[in-house]
């Protein structure tokens, strides 16, 4: 009689090898890395700093991955980790930042991020919804509100 092995089981990592990354985390990274990097480059013009911020954000997301998967909206939580990491790197870089904070403009900092993702990074509302973990209609409405608010100040 032959022994059957589960073909889905992965062998444990060898000495000096990093532990295996869960497939769903690898897919999440592959999907979001380009968009996260484009966003980070808006605030961190040095490509190495932007890449470092995104790598740090993914490292933090990896640490919290199991908890994120158990949350009601893992993508939204991951987006908040990225935003906080980019904020931290911007402050550490000593670059002047015109980035609004929740204290400066309550309720508008997140809307400003949507405008950046749309008008600067070039993402459409469905793509933004995928990145930040919300629905397309909400993104479209918030973008419209932000555009009207800004246009009224011209």
End-to-end distance of the chain based on CA atoms, in angstroms?
Answer: 80
What pLDDT is stored for residue 48 in this prediction? Answer: 95
User: C-alpha 133: how far from its chain's center?
Assistant: 9
User: 63 with 77: CB under 8 angstroms?
Assistant: no
Domain coordinates of the chain in residue numbers? 21-95, 104-154
Confidence at residue 92, expressed as pLDDT on a 0 to 100 scale: 87
Please list the pLDDT of the chain residue by residue as tens digits (154 residues).
444 444 444 445 455 555 677 899 999 999 999 999 999 999 999 999 999 999 999 999 999 999 999 999 999 999 999 999 999 999 887 766 555 554 554 456 678 899 899 999 999 999 999 999 999 999 999 999 888 876 555 4
Q: Which two tokens stand for residue 11?
A: 């062998």
* Domain at 104-154, CATH class: mainly alpha
CA distances 106 to 101, 102, 112, 129, Å, are 8, 5, 11, 21
d(CA 30, CA 28): 6
pTM summary value:
0.77
State residue 88's pLDDT score.
92
- Picking from 117, 112, 51, 115, the residue whose alpha carbon sits closest to that of residue 85 is 51
Chain centre distance of CA 41: 12
* 3-state secondary structure string across 58-79: HHHHHHCHHHHHHCCCHHHHHH
Here the tokens at position 120 are: 């600067």
């Amino acid at each position: 009689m032959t022994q059957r092995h589960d073909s889905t089981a992965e062998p444990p990592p060898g000495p000096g090898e990093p532990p295996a990354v869960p497939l769903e985390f690898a897919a999440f990274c592959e999907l979001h890395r380009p968009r996260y990097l484009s966003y980070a480059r808006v605030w961190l013009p040095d490509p190495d700093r932007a890449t470092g911020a995104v790598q740090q954000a993914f490292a933090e997301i990896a640490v919290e991955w199991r908890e994120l998967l158990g949350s009601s909206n893992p993508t939204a939580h991951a987006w908040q980790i990225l935003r906080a990491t980019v904020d931290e790197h911007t402050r550490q870089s000593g670059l002047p930042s015109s980035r609004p904070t929740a204290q400066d403009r309550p309720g508008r900092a997140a809307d400003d991020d949507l405008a950046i993702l749309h008008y600067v990074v070039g993402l459409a509302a469905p793509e933004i919804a995928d990145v930040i973990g919300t629905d397309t209609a909400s993104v479209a409405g918030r973008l419209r509100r932000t555009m009207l608010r800004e246009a009224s100040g011209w």
